[in-house]
Chains A and B, each alone.
Chain A
Amino acid sequence: MADITSTSAVRDRRETWLEQVPPAYWVLGIILLVIPAFVSPFFMFQIMGWTFILGIISLSLMFLGGYGGMVSLAQMAFAGFAGYMVAIFGDSAITNISQGWPWWLVIPLALLITVIFATAVGWLAVRTEGIYTIMITLAIAAAFFYFTRQNYEIFNGFQGFNSVLPPMLFGVDWRGPYAFYYLTLFWAVAGYAAVLYISRAPFGLALQGVRDNPRRMAALGYNVTAHRVAAYAFAGFLAGIGGILLTWQSSQISPGTVGIAPAIDILVIAVIGGLRHPIGPFIGALIYVILKTFAVDILIALGLAGERFQLVIGIGFLAIVFFSPDGILGLWEKFRASRNRDPLTGQERGDNPL
């Protein structure tokens, strides 16, 4: 793991940020930018758009779990909450509830209220650790799901809101497959870069310190509780962005979006990809989306019942967790380590066995 100044203090010449970007990132960036020229609108909108959205929401969990050691099952609730706020304050087909306020007011307001909600949940959750954090956040997610389903005055109950669309900014229909692809790509890259950057900023480092040893962090002068709550606030912001995009993609938000199953799916995505690095959630999201989209067809082609597609996802999840608890990223690291090891001596190549 690189330390806070590994790219600056130990080098004689300070590289520009462009020079610091690894070549693999350039290749991936070019592929992502030009891929719309080679694939169908369905792939752009449904596969890639959904991957980026679920990746952003899972990224918020990776930030809490990977850097803060706090596994939250409330991230989908935060995302759905932001989607609901956009529907309630903005435009939807439910005109008796939706306020119809302009987008430039609705989006910041939705994110602000979501951050407040996430902060309140964090304030409760940080009093617990381990399995109890999972339980309390699951309880909050379940409570939010049942509340939205039963409340008709604000959340419109079981039906929720439909026709929640992105604004026609710059004359572009942002729900068109190509525009939506680039919109989600932009926020996915922004979220990824922000998490990566913050992980080496004082706040991110302190969060990792809290994960490793909260008692020592308090002994160094840090307010451990405040750091954990602030992490929830930031993760809520990320999840909120994902939630708004998710609402625009499906053009609706309903209790089904924030149910228990979607909440657990976010955890599955993060674990499949790996919690060690911000790229993990996006890898996990791509695998999840491909499985969820094509598993039915594969099962039917094999002569099996298509509705059992969740079984395929579950088996995939079990296999990955069994062979690599650190997800796909863990498998990749094992592969790299094995390539770097001498098959005869078992030593790292370049190491002197003596």
Chain B
Amino acid sequence: MSVASVMSGHAANTSQGTAGYALELRDVSKKFGALEALGGINMSVRPGERRAVLGSNGAGKTTLFNCVTGDFAPTTGAIRFFGEDITSFPAQERIRRGLRRTYQISLLFNGLTVFDNVYLACRGVSRGRFSFLRPGRGDALVQTAEELVEMVNLQDVRTTLVSDLSYGQQRQLEIAMALSGAPRFILFDEPAAGLSPTERAELVNILTGLPGHVGYIIIEHDMDVALRVSDMVTMMHNGRIFKEGKPAEIEEDPEVQALYLGGGHD
């Protein structure tokens, strides 16, 4: 089952607010005491754009994600999502507006099954979160969850507890959960980490197969994956953006090579 076909059925609200930028960060900074994890970040991502954020460990990439999703409140600056200022919104309000993310370390529900995890992700952005009634067989969210489980090739372990899954399967489940509901923009935090070469190829297929209206930012240390699935690349260093450009430009940039790709030693 293709990614686009699964997601086309629940993307009714994707046309709204597509004018302007999907995600805008203006002078966003984040301090932890004396440590400045992010400093004056300005970034504009168009709807449907796929962008890679690269940088060494401690560059501030995950902190940037945490500020966008509401896990951290930025110290200064503003974050706009499809034109709406979401800087002060709690995490759940941002999710309901179509923002999704995966986590660097899998944050799954270990006591529940694979299907239950995906179903919870689908239900989280729908009505009936407090429902005391079990969904029927024909429930639309149940069907969507089944399709997402199948899409990431976890149908054989759909009733397996998450705690019994391999690391690679947990990463696949993270992807399925990020694609639930009607995502307009997804933040992927190192989705290829720990995956086998075969699983990485499958991941690339899933990312490149996303519907055109779904944009994303991907943090990835595997340059091969990152550059293949992105239209634009943002390089970060010490909590600041120091270079932006097309994947080919970034790959050839001597400063980037020196800092990140190791070419500076040549």
Contacts and interface: CB of A to CB of B under 8 A. Distances in A.
Interface of A: 1-6, 8-10, 14, 197-198, 200-206, 208-209, 211-213, 215-223, 226-227, 230
Given A212-B112, A217-B124, 5 more contacts: A14-B137, A201-B132, A202-B129, A202-B131, A218-B92
Task: Report, nearest first, the 4 A-B pairs whose CB atoms are least far apart.
Answer: A220-B124, A221-B124, A3-B113, A221-B95
B132 A203 contact: yes
B130 A1 contact: no
Contact of A221 (B96, B103, B132, B135): B96
Contacts of A5: 115, 135, 137, 142
A220 B116 CA distance: 13
A211 B109 CA distance: 8
B71 interface: yes
> Chain B binding site: helix, strand, loop or mixed by DSSP?
loop
A222 B111 contact: no
Q: How large is the interface on B (under 10, 10 to 19, 20 to 34, 35 or more residues)?
A: 35 or more
Contacts of B92: 218-223
Contacts of B91: 218-219
Contacts of A220: 92, 95, 120-121, 124-125, 177
Given A213-B109, A230-B130, A6 B159 contact: yes
Contacts of B123: 202, 205-206
B34 interface: no
B73 to A, nearest CB: 14
B128 interface: yes
B114 to A, nearest CB: 8
Nearest to A211: B111
Contacts of B108: 212-213, 216
Contact of B132 (A1, A10, A198): A198
B113 A1 contact: yes
Contacts of A2: 113, 159
Contact of B112 (A205, A218, A227): A205
Contact of B129 (A4, A6, A206): A206
Contacts of B110: 212
A11 to B, nearest CB: 9
